């Protein structure tokens, strides 16, 4: 187990963290090592890549399976207050699969998410959020 943790730590440290002085990372690559019971070997693979804007918010994210095949690709958009207002989910070829639009109240609390078709014209799911104190 210690060998696995050591390997994971080394990989994370060498995985593409780039820092500018007093700024968030521009791109972060997460690499994971897992023990495979069938082959009785450690398997290392890239799990995700995340790009950030100057404010430190993720603007694009990719996820990968154990074989290195892309299984997630999302682009994010933000308003002037730094709140996420849109998620664009893409397939492995870059085509839009769905769009999620997010709205907030005057206090900055999320009040609604609308999931839309790839062309953005039809709502397929509506989520509303309320808060009790």
Proportion of the chain in helix, strand, coil states, percent, rounded to 5? 10, 50, 40
Is-contact 98 118, C-beta < 8 A? yes
Give the per-residue pLDDT at 101: 98
Paired with 114 in beta bridges are 101, 126
User: How many domains does the chain contain in total?
Assistant: 2
Same-domain status, 66 and 1? yes
Same-domain status, 54 and 29? yes
Give the per-residue pLDDT at 66: 86
Is-contact 121 101, C-beta < 8 A? no
Give the per-residue pLDDT at 18: 42
Per-residue pLDDT of the chain (133 residues; tens, 9 = 90+): 555 544 444 444 444 444 444 455 699 999 999 998 999 999 999 999 999 999 999 999 999 998 889 999 999 999 999 999 999 999 989 999 999 999 999 999 999 999 999 999 999 999 999 999 8
CA atoms of 129 and 113, how far apart (whole Å): 8
Same-domain status, 92 and 62? no
Is-contact 92 113, C-beta < 8 A? no
Residues 6 or more apart whose Cβ sits within 8 Å of residue 90 = 73, 74, 75, 96, 97
Same-domain status, 3 and 46? yes
Give the per-residue pLDDT at 67: 87
CA atoms of 97 and 133, how far apart (whole Å): 36
Give the per-residue pLDDT at 16: 45
Is-contact 43 37, C-beta < 8 A? no
Element of type H or E holding 4: helix 2-13
Give the per-residue pLDDT at 89: 98
Please give the residue range of the domain that contains residue 39: 1-74
Same-domain status, 69 and 84? no
pTM given for the model: 0.75
């Amino acid at each position: 187990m210690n060998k696995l943790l050591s390997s994971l730590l080394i990989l994370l440290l060498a995985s593409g963290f780039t820092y500018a002085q007093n700024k968030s990372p521009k791109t972060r690559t997460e690499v994971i090592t897992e023990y495979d019971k069938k082959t009785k070997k450690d398997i290392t693979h890239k799990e995700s890549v995340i790009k950030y804007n100057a404010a430190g918010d993720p603007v694009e994210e990719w996820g990968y399976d154990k074989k290195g095949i892309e299984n997630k690709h999302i682009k994010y958009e933000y308003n002037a207050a730094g709140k996420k207002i849109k998620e664009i989910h893409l397939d492995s070829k870059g085509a839009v699969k769905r769009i999620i639009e997010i709205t907030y109240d005057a206090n900055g609390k999320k009040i609604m998410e609308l999931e839309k078709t790839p062309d953005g014209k039809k709502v397929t799911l509506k989520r509303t959020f309320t808060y009790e104190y």
